[in-house]
Structure 1
Amino acid sequence: MAERLTAIVVGGGIAGLASATSLAQAGWAVTVLERAPTFGEVGAGLAITHNGMSALEAIGVGEAVGAAGYETVPAGFQDPGGRWLLRIPDTPDVLATTTIWGIHRQRLHSALRQAAEAADGVELVTGAEVTAVRPGLPAGEPAAVTWQTATGRHTSESGLVVAADGVRSTVRQQLFANARPRYSGSTSWRAVIPDTTASGGRLFQVWGPGTEFGAVRISDREIYWYGYFRHPEGASFDDEPAAARDHFSGWSAQVQAIVAATTADQLMRHDVYHLPGGLGGYVHGRIVMVGDAAHAMLPTVGQGASSALKDGVCVGRLIAAPVADGGDLAAALAAFDQARRPRCRQIARLSAITARFGADLGGGLRQSVRNSLLRLTPAGSLAKAATPIVSWTAP
């Protein structure tokens, strides 16, 4: 029997676990190195669009994630006073592309972890801090990863390394030293609160001066909300819930009710960083970059998780499977880069444009002009414009 192909995945988040499962399904033996002492996900909620669900279905996790989340659709955009700027219609052709699944990040991560644990040939290692990588050569020496654990220093060679270690990627820092994450200029409150009648089940988003608010149901019992706003990097508030209530004090009763129902232990806030333009290439030697390590983007079109999931599927479908069938690794890596980089760049550009038009837009006349233009926009055509992004099919 031929020796099993091996891969090391650096990072046990959404992109890393999706990649590990996809690699194992292609017949590879996979080691996942997670820096944290336990596998888990820090965060509140997110919305998975059709393309992300297609990726989950490709690795056999779609049903579990669907059951753990809440299927709904976007309602549209409001101004801070609660007046509709654009309402998304409920016509079948629009619903076909706008359906989303709201889910708690921890539940999504748990479903992915269970899939990786159930896959043949996946080893999950926690408390493993990667300190060095050797990229190797596709037609020559193997890649190598060095990591530190409580038991000491470890080094292992591998046929492939998947760098899925996030926006502050250690692997990217070593291989692409000039590609550094940049502060977006905005920070974001996020929270999951008990069920409330304040927002129903549909995702609704509100655009105000330098701020975007959104809320969506993620289960029959919970609503996830976020408040993304312009703020100095690293600045803190003495009382986060009070600061959030104050920030949204002039907004609609619906928004104020959601924020007021949030306690200090439910509320978190993180500065938002991105990688403008992404990497110039997602491949270096035998190392492939995925998720935020490759293309951390602004959250303004909600494609971060779905893009990471698609990366993971493509690692297995475009790299692992062809090589397992006797194909050339260099060609497979190039195929991955050609498939994923242009698409991720397109989404990142759209995220930046949406931020300028939406959350980052200042006050005064700019708000009135933007709101008037949005009211004149045919809602159906705007929803259909998202089709090229959400209509992805796994290779």
Structure 2
Amino acid sequence: MSHAAVVVGGGIAGLAAAISLARAGWEVTVAERAATPTELGAGFAMARNAVAAFRALGFDDDTVGLLGYRTRAAGTWAFDGRPILTLADDARTRAAVALIGVNRRRIHHVLLERARAVGVDIETGLEVATLSVGAPGGAPAVVAGREADLVVGADGMFSAVRDALFSSHRLTYSGYSSWRALTARTPEVTTLRQFWGPHAEFGLMPVSEELTYWYGYVAMPSRTRLDDELVAARERFAGWARPVLDVMDATEPGAVMRHDVYHLPGGLPSYTHGRVVMIGDAAHGFLPTMGQGVATALEDGACIGLFIGHPVAAGGRLAPALAEFDAVRRPRSRALGRAAMATARIGAHLGGGRRQSVRNALMRVTPAGLVNRGADAAMGWQPPPPAAPRF
């Protein structure tokens, strides 16, 4: 018996879910509202858990190696360049904080090509105007005029599916906006380096032999309009450490984008409703201060196949499969959301004055073992085996 799924959203989370369901034998349609599936943004740090989830989608080591630049997190510095928490270059720490610097458009392209290769139907220009959630074991769901055994809400931070099903759970403006850009790489940029200052954070990281990704995350009123984003970024970070200034000096004005940062505190109270399952930013969009947005999107997508796709294709009932997905994924995502909020409070969201010097002094004496354990908790995730069907 074949099963049909409609995945709403053709971004990283949606494509990952579509691939995992198709690999489990489902007929999958991705409903994307844009005329052409694409990925906004510049780069991201692909941590161990993101790599594990990517491999769980069927990608081999060769494909992983071609995604970007293998590197590691080197630590955090004060805005003036003085070290706050530098990470040791020993084998244990390197393994804990290993990263691949990736261009977001590169991974989106790889996922899109694989989705098509495994038979996923990508339909563009489709708006979700109406949605009937159906009932597991009963009526099918109906979305974008299509009946489905399962609907996956993967339409991002400003999710139309979430608005339709969880209208009381609204996004909150973080009070921060973020510049992002890709620029020509210089030889000295070899690791992820982060700089903290009052109400601001700056990071830079290689994403290929040729390109460096940087971001500048700063306190700013929502919907601020700026005449020249690069000029504004330079003015905001004037006086910061030399690596920060150098990477902006190497940036072309047209390469800079900026977006206001919203989040969904606590995430949704349930990731399922009827035959609908929510994933990625649509379900738990948290602050970017842990760098786990893409990683959890990939984790969610892989787990759609492991907890729902495989057991239902094997004859199991949908209701317990949905319940197990929610029981496993929601606690992990909530924990990461809390960690992102805590990191923001001691990092980019911290005000100026004595608070900065006290924070810096405490972090300078943080034991390496504590850093490694924290990295393991966030990034040590491994995909579980496919769930057994429940009849």
Query: TM-score with structure 1 length normalisation?
Result: 0.95
**Are 1:173 and 2:163 an aligned pair?**
yes
Distance apart, 1:282 and its partner CA: 0.1
Distance 2:374 2:261 in 1: 26
Match of 2:345 in 1: 356
> Could you tell me which amino acid in structure 2 is paired with residue 73 of structure 1?
R
Distance 2:221 2:163 in 1: 25
> Could you tell me which amino acid in structure 1 is paired with residue 3 of structure 2?
L
Match of 2:388 in 1: none
User: How do 1:169-208 and structure 2 match up within 5 A?
Assistant: 169-197=159-187, 199-208=188-197
**Are 1:12 and 2:10 an aligned pair?**
yes
Match of 1:143 in 2: 141
Query: TM-score with structure 2 length normalisation?
Result: 0.96
Q: 1:218-248: CA deviations, max 9, x gaps?
A: 0000000000011000012122111111111
Q: 1:139-180: CA deviations, max 9, x gaps?
A: 21010002xxxxxxxx11110000000111111101001011
Aligned positions, number: 383
Distance apart, 1:384 and its partner CA: 2.5
Identity of aligned residues (%): 50
Distance 1:54 1:136 in 2: 33
Q: Secondary structure at the match of 2:299?
A: helix
Q: 1:75-95: CA deviations, max 9, x gaps?
A: 101001111111111211122
Q: 1:182-225: CA deviations, max 9, x gaps?
A: 1111000000001113x421000001000010000000000000
Gapped regions of structure 1 (runs ≥ 5): 147-154
Compare 314-323 and 238-247 and name the one that shifted more. Answer: 238-247
Distance 1:379 1:357 in 2: 18
Distance apart, 1:57 and its partner CA: 0.3
> Could you tell me which amino acid in structure 2 is paired with residue 171 of structure 1?
V
Distance apart, 1:392 and its partner CA: 1.1
Q: Secondary structure at the match of 1:33?
A: strand
**Are 1:342 and 2:331 an aligned pair?**
yes
User: How do 1:64-143 and structure 2 match up within 5 A?
Assistant: 64-120=63-119, 122-143=120-141
CA contact (8 A) 1:16 1:32 kept: yes
CA contact (8 A) 1:36 1:127 kept: yes
Moved over 4 A (4+): none
**Are 1:156 and 2:146 an aligned pair?**
yes
CA contact (8 A) 1:61 1:111 kept: no
2:229 equivalent among 213, 228, 240: 240
1:48 equivalent among 42, 46, 49: 46
> Could you tell me which amino acid in structure 1 is paired with residue 40 of structure 2?
V
Distance apart, 1:254 and its partner CA: 1.4
Distance apart, 1:62 and its partner CA: 5.1
Q: Secondary structure at the match of 2:323?
A: helix
**Are 1:323 and 2:322 an aligned pair?**
no
Match of 1:277 in 2: 266
> Could you tell me which amino acid in structure 2 is paired with residue 129 of structure 1?
E
Q: Secondary structure at the match of 1:238?
A: coil
Distance 1:296 1:129 in 2: 21
CA contact (8 A) 1:229 1:359 kept: yes
Q: Secondary structure at the match of 1:130?
A: coil
Match of 1:149 in 2: none
Distance apart, 1:129 and its partner CA: 1.1
Distance 2:126 2:250 in 1: 38
> Could you tell me which amino acid in structure 1 is paired with residue 48 of structure 2?
H
Distance 1:105 1:65 in 2: 14
CA contact (8 A) 1:22 1:312 kept: yes
Distance 2:253 2:127 in 1: 31
Q: 1:15-48: CA deviations, max 9, x gaps?
A: 0000000000000000000110001111100011
CA contact (8 A) 1:18 1:309 kept: yes
> Could you tell me which amino acid in structure 1 is paired with residue 54 of structure 2?
L
Match of 1:309 in 2: 298
CA RMSD of aligned residues (A): 1.0
Distance apart, 1:380 and its partner CA: 3.8
Distance 1:319 1:241 in 2: 45
Distance apart, 1:66 and its partner CA: 2.6
CA contact (8 A) 1:278 1:295 kept: yes
Compare 258-267 and 221-230 and name the one that shifted more. Answer: 258-267
Match of 1:262 in 2: 251
Gapped regions of structure 2 (runs ≥ 5): 385-391
Distance apart, 1:275 and its partner CA: 0.4
Distance 1:240 1:32 in 2: 34
Match of 1:252 in 2: 241
CA contact (8 A) 1:102 1:217 kept: yes
> Could you tell me which amino acid in structure 2 is paired with residue 385 of structure 1?
G
> Could you tell me which amino acid in structure 2 is paired with residue 332 of structure 1?
A
Compare 89-98 and 99-108 and name the one that shifted more. Answer: 89-98
**Are 1:36 and 2:34 an aligned pair?**
yes
CA contact (8 A) 1:87 1:379 kept: no
Q: Secondary structure at the match of 1:73?
A: strand
CA contact (8 A) 1:75 1:204 kept: yes
Distance 2:35 2:118 in 1: 22
1:61 equivalent among 59, 84, 100: 59
Distance 2:334 2:245 in 1: 36
Distance apart, 1:61 and its partner CA: 2.8
Distance 1:66 1:277 in 2: 34
